[in-house]
Amino acid sequence: MSVSTRRIEGFGVCRLLLAFSAASAMALTSASVPAQGLPKTVNIATNPAGTLYYGLTSGIAATLAANAPFKAEAAPYSGTSTFMPLLNEGREVDFGMVNAVDMGMAYVGPGKRKIGGKNPFRRSPNVRLVVRGGAMQVGVYVPKNSPIHHVRDAKGRKMSGEYPAHQAVWYNGLGNLSSCGLSWGDVNVVPVPAVNDGMDALKDGRVEVSMHAVGSGKVREVDAAIGVRMVRICDDTEAQKRVAKTVPGYSIMKFKPGSSVGVSEPASAVSYDVYLGTSKSMSDQVVYEVVKGLWNGQKTLFTKHPILKRWTKERFASDEVTIPYHPGAIKFFKEKGVWTDAMEKHQQELLRESM
């Protein structure tokens, strides 16, 4: 039998107020502070400041801070090679910004996959995919007044190479050179540790050719110092085939003059997907909240960097990825109805591949 609130007195009123206060407190907690078990902050390992990866990571961190129940911050390392083992082990690094090719090689290890005759990555069977991001490109750069206008002209020239702390760039170079049927053996390699060091060598005149992500802060810095020009690689149909065969997962993108810093004449460069990855030991709920934050925060994400406009939610789930997804990500994709039978089949194939 219902009772009018006007007739509730004494102890009954207290009980009602306490219950209401508890419910209000629970609602406030879930809306304003991280839920129990979630961290206050997560870190995202990435390349050094000045690189395109660092810019993208900073944008993702800002998006999560505005759309997830915890903060995120960029954690710069010299390159993928240095933080991949930490990501695999689930220590020190929570998430990482890496490219699809590196992740695929690290996931299965050098015993199962080599590209260009080598796989420098320690086997990392515990890495998992959070979202598949947009594609990025790595171009070949020369001083603005250089006689080199095409990558085939780099034959016999001094070019930054080796990249022991940032092996991804070694593959970037291999892909760009292979477009014209060249290899690292066709250039005069000047060893540098990582990608920014290569552009510094170009600025200082120690090399004639170097590489960096198209449109990165470092390219702008060196362009302001000496003036740089991005050269063209071979980019016809046969070149596309050579690049894809040499570095599976790579393709070629063309650029019109004026489309990016240093592009003063028709140019082209290798292109590949960028991933946000983590370890399988990461909490399902944390990964779920990261995907949800990026999915719901698209408007914020797109304002943080021009290339982040390629990080559309339609790309996040795919059956063409090189490592398996984290269960927390799959849970979110299933709730949104975008996880397909083809994705599940590919997921199981990838899981078996690391056994």
Same domain, 300 and 340: yes
Three-class DSSP category at 274: strand
Whether 129 and 329 have beta carbons less than 8 Å apart is answered as: yes
268 shares a domain with 283: no
| Portion of the chain with pLDDT greater than 70, in percent | 90
The per-residue pLDDT for 35 is: 52
Question: What value does the mean pLDDT take over residues 302-328?
Answer: 96
127 and 145 in a single domain? The answer is no
Nearest Cα to 215, choosing from 71, 12, 54, 74?
54
Q: Last residue of a domain, which of 224, 244, 272?
A: 272
φ, ψ of residue 103 in degrees (nearest 5): -65, -40
Please check whether residue 5 lies inside any domain of the structure: no
pLDDT in tens, 248-257: 889 999 999 9
Same domain, residue pair 120 and 143: no
Q: Is pLDDT at 36 greater than 80 in this prediction?
A: no
Same domain, 142 and 250: yes
Please, what is the angle between helix 284-296 and helix 52-67, to 10°? 100
Q: pTM for this structure?
A: 0.81
Q: Does residue 265 sit within a domain?
A: yes
Residues near 169 by beta carbon (within 8 Å), at least 6 away in sequence: 79, 138, 163, 194, 195, 198, 211
Of 244, 272, 300, which residue sits at a domain end? 272
Selected residue with higher pLDDT from 115 and 19 = 115
226 with 258, same domain: the answer is yes
Q: Is residue 25 part of a domain?
A: no
Q: Indicate if 114 and 147 belong to the same structural domain.
A: no
Domains held by the chain: number = 2
End residue of a domain, out of 239, 272, 305: 272
pLDDT band at 79 (very low <50, low <70, confident <90, very high): confident
Tens digit of pLDDT for each residue in 176-208?
Answer: 999 999 999 999 999 999 999 999 999 999 999
Q: Are residues 233 and 327 in the same domain?
A: no
Out of 5-19, 140-154, 221-235, pick the least confident.
5-19
> Is 6 within a domain?
no
Same domain, yes or no, for 50 and 102?
A: yes
Mind spelling out the 3-state secondary structure of 6-73? Answer: HHCCCHHHHHHHHHHHHHHHHHHHHHHCCCCCCCCEEEEEECCCCCHHHHHHHHHHHHHHHHCCCEEE
Measured CA to CA in angstroms, residue 349 lies from 31, 123, 156, 186, 354 at distances of 39, 18, 43, 38, 9
DSSP 234: P
Residue 9 within any structural domain of the chain: no
Region 139-157 average pLDDT: 98
Q: Residue 7: pLDDT band by 50, 70, 90 thresholds?
A: very low
Which range marks the domain in which residue 57 is found? 41-134+274-353
- Domain annotation covers residue 279: yes
What is the residue whose two structure tokens read 């046969």? 238
Let me know if residue 15 belongs to a domain: no
User: Are both 196 and 253 inside the same structural domain?
Assistant: yes
In a domain, 50, yes or no: yes
| Integer CA distances (angstroms), 163 to 81, 96, 160, 167, in order | 10, 19, 8, 5
Both 189 and 75 in one domain: the answer is: no
Mean per-residue pLDDT for 319-324?
Answer: 94
Residues 144, 267 within the same domain: yes
- Note the pLDDT of residue 34: 45
- Average pLDDT (159-186) is 95
Specify the CATH number for the domain of residue 249: 3.40.190.10
* Mean of pLDDT over the chain: 90
Q: So what's the pLDDT on residue 245? A: 92
